[in-house]
A = this chain, B = another copy of it.
């Protein structure tokens, strides 16, 4: 079934915000088996929105809108969609109650224009909003379906996940389940080659690869008569994929690498400290994004200057002179010094050249050395990453460290 996504909001046309709703909805709709044909963005203007809705229905049977459901005069998505699908809005008492309650909870007066949000299409299935005040809905007319969701990403995602997705699934002739396998250290084309016969060999489950910021993901999706059958088919395929490329896999459930590492450290109560040079605190920062990591993360030392490497971590001046700040010898002394100082079970270090300057013929920008010590075990690596962008390099360096930590504690 073909689908179009319409984003409503003048701020998008001014370039004031980035349209992340379309990215999320595209992924979700593709997974549910829809072919997304178009993204349209239009301002808070009923005539142009109507034009987009009609253009979309020329090819598509599903239109998903985001934005324009709020209480102000500008917010006209609901009215426009309702008219396009030949319905009219009526007061929904449940919606009104919920809006009243939300205002009472915030100790704020409910202004009259908020009542507008409780007028909803008479034939619609209403999606009450668990994260805000504006309700959404699904409305059908003949073979055409419209799903209207709020604009704020958090509200939109919660409503899609809890209400729009089950709605779409209930109208499907099967149940779709999927899992996202995340890998690090293998390129997209190598990943594809490794599973090519699985991709070519069958139509369900389907496999698709995605490259993203230095890593690769593989989506396995299945549509079967029941959710159990679809889940089983996906799980079986995930096992087959793991047999091929398991050494690169760090999550079969779409977990972020940094979160996966933080969660594992917390679960197994492994204390960790880090010493960073070229990544400038990025490793510590990514690790501490996960709540609760304070139970295991002791400290991070960003030793940017040579002096700080000596002061903080006991790196020998002779090592810096003989091998240079970017060397496996320096990385090893950084991690060992950190271990001696903190006693953390896991100590990790990195030193490198993020670029664009600072490289040499022997050690070009993109070179980094990293050391992981876990209890008595020590791993040491020198790696070259050829990207020219300083911050792309820094991100890759950090992911590489994160992955080494993941491997050593798995």
Contacts and interface: CB of A to CB of B under 8 A. Distances in A.
A278 to B, nearest CB: 8
**Copies of this chain, tallied across the complex:** 2
A310 to B, nearest CB: 11
Interface string A266-295: 000000000010011111110111011010
Given A26-B13, A39-B19, A298 B304 contact: yes
Size band of the A side of the interface? Answer: 35 or more
Contact of A18 (B14, B20, B55, B302): B20
A26 B14 contact: yes
Contacts of A16: 210-212
Contacts of A279: 285
Interface in A293-309: 294, 297-305, 307-308
Contact of A13 (B14, B39, B358): B39
Contacts of A41: 22, 38-40
Nearest to A20: B18
B37 A13 contact: yes
Interface in A1-35: 7, 12-20, 22-28, 30
Contacts of A284: 280-281, 302, 304
A122 interface: no
B30 A14 contact: yes
Contact of A40 (B26, B39, B301, B302): B39
Contacts of A43: 37
A324 interface: no
26 contacts: A12-B26, A13-B26, A13-B36, A15-B26, A15-B36, A16-B212, A17-B23, A18-B19, A19-B39, A38-B41, A39-B40, A279-B285, A280-B289, A280-B297, A281-B284, A281-B285, A281-B300, A288-B302, A291-B356, A294-B358, A298-B307, A299-B311, A300-B304, A301-B301, A308-B342, A311-B341
Interface of A: 7, 12-20, 22-28, 30, 36-43, 48, 51-52, 55, 59, 208, 210-212, 276, 279-285, 287-289, 291-292, 294, 297-305, 307-308, 311-312, 341-342, 355-358, 390-391, 394
Rank and list the top 10 A-B pairs by shortest CB-CB distance, nearest first. Answer: A280-B288, A281-B281, A15-B26, A281-B284, A300-B302, A15-B27, A39-B41, A299-B308, A281-B285, A13-B36
